[in-house]
Amino acid sequence: MTRGRATREGIPTPIMAQYYAQRCDAGLIISEGVAISPQGYGWINSPGIWNDAQVEAWKPITKAVHDHGSTIVAQLWHMGRMLSPGVTNVPSVAPSAIQPPGVAHGPHGKSDYPTPEALTIPQIHQIVKDYGIAAKNAVKAGFDGIQLHAANGYLVDQFLRDSTNKRKDEYGGSPQKRLRFLKEVVEEMIAAIGAERVSVRFSPNGEIQGCVDSHPEEVFIPAAALLQKLNVAWLELREGSDDASFDMAGQTHQKKLSPEIRKVFHNPLVLNGDYDKESGEEALKLGKADAIAYGRLYINNPDLATRFKENLPIDTDIQPTSFYAAYQEDKTSGYTDYPFATKK
42-56, 105-119, 209-223, range with the lowest pLDDT: 105-119
Question: Rounded CA gap, 261 and 235, in Å?
Answer: 10
Length of the chain: 344
* Long-range pairs for 247-250: beta carbons < 8 A, 24 or more residues apart: 248/152, 248/208, 249/273, 249/274, 250/203, 250/205, 250/206, 250/207, 250/208
CB 287 within 8 A of CB 271: no
In a domain, 191, yes or no: yes
Domain contains 7 = no
Task: Provide the pLDDT confidence category of residue 318 given band limits of 50, 70 and 90.
Answer: confident
Residue 339 within a domain: no
What pLDDT, on a 0 to 100 scale, did the predictor assign at position 251?
A: 59
Contact 34, 47 (CB under 8 A): yes
The pLDDT of 318-327, averaged and rounded, is 70
Domains in the chain, number:
1
Among the ranges given (67-76, 147-156, 160-169, 243-252), the one the predictor scored with the smallest mean pLDDT: 243-252
**Model confidence pLDDT, tens digit, residues 290-316:** 999 999 999 999 999 999 999 999 998
Whether 147 maps to a domain, the answer reads: yes
The set of catalytic residues is: 154
Cβ(308)–Cβ(316) under 8 Å?
A: no
Q: Does 329 map to a domain?
A: no
Q: Would you list the DSSP string of 106-132? A: ETTEEEEPPPPEEPPHHHHHHHHHHHH
CATH code (residue 78): 3.20.20.70
Cβ-contact 122, 76 below 8 angstroms: no
What pLDDT sits at residue 295?
Answer: 93
Domain of 274, in residue numbers:
14-322
Q: Which residue would you say has higher pLDDT here, 325 or 66?
A: 66
Q: Are 41 and 82 in contact (CB under 8 A)?
A: no
Give the pLDDT score at 288.
97
Domain assignment present for residue 331? The answer is: no
Each residue's pLDDT tens digit, 39-52: 999 999 999 999 99
Side chain identity, residue 87: V
Residue 318 located in a structural domain: yes
Return the pLDDT at 249.
46
pLDDT interval class at 246 (50, 70, 90): very low
* DSSP class of 90: S
Strand partners, 237: 202, 271
Phi, psi angle pair for 117, to nearest 5° = -80, 135
Phi, psi of 139 (to 5 degrees): -65, -40
Q: What gap in Å lies between CA 273 and CA 257, rounded to an integer?
A: 13
**C-alpha to C-alpha distances, 151 to 147, 158, 175, 209, nearest whole angstrom:** 11, 9, 16, 11
The residue ranking higher by pLDDT, 327 or 88, is: 88
Q: Which of 303, 265, 331, 259 is CA-nearest to residue 294? A: 303
Contact indicator for 146, 76 with CB cutoff of 8 Å: yes
Read off the pLDDT of residues 248-293 as tens digits, 9 standing for 90 and up. Answer: 445 567 889 999 999 999 999 999 988 999 999 999 999 999 999 9
pLDDT of 160 strictly over 90 = yes
**Residue 268 included in any domain:** yes
Start-to-end C-alpha separation, the chain: 23
Half-sphere exposure of 323 (CA within 13 A, CB side): 12
pLDDT of residue 201: 98
Q: CA 163: distance to chain centroid?
A: 20
